Chain A
Amino acid sequence: MADEGGEFIDVQDLTKTFTVRRRTGLLRRTAEEVRAVDGISFTLRRGEMAGFIGPNGAGKSTTIKMLTGILTPSGGRLRVAGVDPWRERTRLVRRIGVVFGQRTTLWWDLPLRDSYGLVRRMYRVPQARFEENLARCVELLELGDLLDVPVRQLSLGQRMRGDITAALLHDPDVLYLDEPTIGLDVVSKARVREFLRTLNAERGTTVLLTTHDLSDIEQLCKRVVVIDHGRLMYDGPLAGLHEVGRGERTLVVDLERELPPIEGLTGARTVRTEGPRQWLAFPASASAAPLVSRLAAEYPLVDLSIREPDIEDVIARMYAR
């Protein structure tokens, strides 16, 4: 096929404008045009795994909806696997899998097993292939005990794993995940991430995920695409994003007693003190280990933790430049 090599997802100057009507008086309304996506261009190779990030309302979900054929673009060019998503929606959807973190694609009142049976028939997955894929997901995502439980009784993390399985039963070439780890506990997050990593490595599935959690990106994606206000802010490796955004990690230090702000540590500065607790900022690209060992050697250390920069901060700094 023509789309096998090169750009698998090809987005050129994509725009989406909505008309928002607002009531300005008793009967008067004004129409206002909002550019949710404002000329975004990027491409994704087959088998690539990229993070799609940006603050709330940046246009992430709108872009994903256009990529999946749900929404019609207002302008620009868009090809996924050589297909125009909105014109040939039913043709495209057989080749893509979609997971919406905030809402389930499963049938609320049906047990997982029945939901998967419906998915199999909708996508016309041959029985043997279906069973093989299901067994694999059940094993890797530890769904064995949950197959006969109605979806509404599943916890958020269980439901997410169930949703991911449903999106993969038909061997999609691309998997879109919209906030796949939102609201999940640490164990569930780790399991989902590990699964996605395996999927990408073993099956070569192209993955595009949106997230608020920068550690998702750190653990999964070499590449990030940042958008804000519908515009492309950054497209490249994650490390570069930290440099561009001057991301900083924070070391939270608990000392034995109240001390004056820690000084003289190279590459770190104290940004806040509160009783025996102090906050030290250091560049996200630097290693925490030497800092920690020096602190432990020179100060009466009780406990410490490291906070990753959150994505909102990084983007805010990109703006401030």
Chain B
Amino acid sequence: MAEELAETLPRSPGVRPRSAPGAVLSRAAWGLRAYGFIAAMWVRSTMAYRASFAIMLAANFATTSLDFAAIMIMFAQVDALGGFALPEVAFLYGTSCVAFGLSDLLLGSAERVGRRVRDGTMDVLLTRPVPVLAQLAADRFSLRRLGRITQGSLVLGWSVLRLELEWTPGRIAMVCSMVLCGAAIFGCVFVLGGAFQFWAQDASEVQNAFTYGGTTLLQYPPTLFGKELVRGVTFVVPLAFVNWLPALHVLGRDDPLGLPGWADYAAPFVALLCCALTGLVWRAGLRAYRSTGS
């Protein structure tokens, strides 16, 4: 069925692809379809080794659970953290964990730009009639990343049961929006991280500033710390809109910063803005690569 549909799609219109909005949309639709069949191929190929897949899934579940285990241990000593009880913290944790898990599942592979450029396979992606980002993001699509999503969902589910709130349609919609917008923003960070590598393949100094700077400051494992620091800084700012403010709204608490009420609903717009910005940066990165090569 899908095949026949593909055949009726406009093929190679005579105009330049980026000139008409219709062409942009059909290109995006084609990119999504291509993402779908590439990802499906990877799923089929990993499912050939079911036992190994099950182990990987369990390992992913277990390692990502450690984060929440740490929170549990803290709550064994105290009743509230910054005025938040365990179910409330679990709610915050669960929503951001599911959002991150979703984006990691769908776009985590987009980070591999640098390696692709170095080993020359970026050129291979450019010789195929499928948007590069779709090929890159779907590459090695792995359902073992469902481990984190499952873990986050369990924590979220538990918190929802314990929160003693009235689950109005508005609240439920807010939770869904938090997860989806959060996933979109985390996804943007993955893609931005990838796009940045188009310019920074040789800028190891930049990376060293993070890694070695981090080491001397805090005596922390450098590779881990550098990455987490960058992630922390870049994720936190937009996430305040996407996770923190709506969560306060859902939990019926006051916003300590005293932002106007509409900020609670800003998440979809922030997410859209991030996506648009990311799209532009990605295109600029790809253009830079195509003019400089590897």
| A65 contacts across to B, CB distance below 8 A | 123, 293
Please choose the segment from A92-100, A214-222, A226-234, A286-294 that sits at the chain B interface, where 4 or more of its residues have CB less than 8 A away. A92-100
- Report how far A109 CA is from B139 CA in the complex, Å: 11
CB distance from B11 to the nearest CB of A (A): 8
CB-CB nearest in chain B for A176: B127
B contact residues around A109 at 8 Å (CB): 45, 140
- The B interface, classified by DSSP as helix, strand, loop or mixed, is helix
Nearest residue (CB) in A for B134 is A122
Expressed in whole angstroms, the minimum distance between the Cβ of A242 and any Cβ of chain B is: 33
- Which chain A residue shows the least CB distance to B18? A87
A105 CB within 8 Å of chain B: yes
Give A66 Cβ to nearest chain B Cβ, in Å. 10
Partner of A100, one of B12, B123, B129, B292: B123
> Count of B residues near A, CB < 8 Å?
31
Residues of B162-196 contacting chain A, CB below 8 A: none
A111 to B45, CA, bound (A): 9
> Is A136's beta carbon under 8 Å from chain B?
no
Cβ of A51 under 8 Å from chain B: no
Does A298 belong to the interface (CB within 8 Å)?
no
B248, CB-defined interface residue at 8 Å? no
Contact B127 A93, beta carbon cutoff 8 Å? yes
Report if A105-B127 is in contact (Cβ < 8 Å); known contacts: A65-B293, A87-B16, A94-B12: yes
- The verdict on A88 contacting B34 (CB below 8 Å), with A62-B293, A103-B120, A122-B130 known, is no
Q: Is the CB of B127 within 8 A of A122?
A: no
Contact with A along B132-151 (1 / 0, CB 8 A): 00000000100000000000
Whether A70 pairs with B127 at a CB distance below 8 angstroms is yes
Chain B, residues 9-45, CB within 8 Å of chain A (1/0): the string is 0011000110000000001000000100110010011
Min CB–CB distance A42 → chain B (angstroms): 21
Chain A neighbourhood of B3, CB < 8 A: 127
**Which among A6-14, A113-121, A188-196, A263-271 touches the partner chain?**
A113-121
B290/A72 in contact, CB under 8 A: yes
Q: Which of A68, A70, A87, A94 has the most CB of B within 10 A?
A: A70
Are A98 and B291 neighbours in the complex by a CB distance under 8 Å?
no
Q: Of the candidates A18, A96, A105, which one forms a contact with B293 in the assembled complex, judged by CB atoms under 8 Å apart?
A: A18
Q: Which residue of A lies closest to B44 (CB)?
A: A114
Give a binary string over A66-88; 1 marks a CB under 8 Å from any B CB, 0 the rest. Answer: 00111110100000000000111
CB distance from A33 to the nearest CB of B (A): 12
User: Contact at A124–B7, with CB atoms within 8 Å?
Assistant: yes
Measured CA separation A88–B16 after assembly (Å): 7
Question: Are A105 and B16 touching (Cβ within 8 A)?
Answer: no
Contacts of B131 in A (CB 8 A): 90
| A123 sits at the interface (CB 8 A) | yes
A-B contact pairs, 6 of them (CB 8 A): A68-B127, A69-B126, A90-B130, A93-B127, A98-B124, A122-B130
Besides A18-B292, A117-B41, A126-B7, 5 more A-B contacts (Cβ < 8 Å) are: A88-B17, A90-B130, A110-B41, A118-B37, A122-B129
Q: Using CB atoms and an 8 Å cutoff, list the residues of chain A in contact with chain B.
A: 18-19, 62, 65, 68-72, 74, 86-91, 93-94, 96, 98, 100, 102-105, 109-111, 114, 117-118, 121-124, 126-127
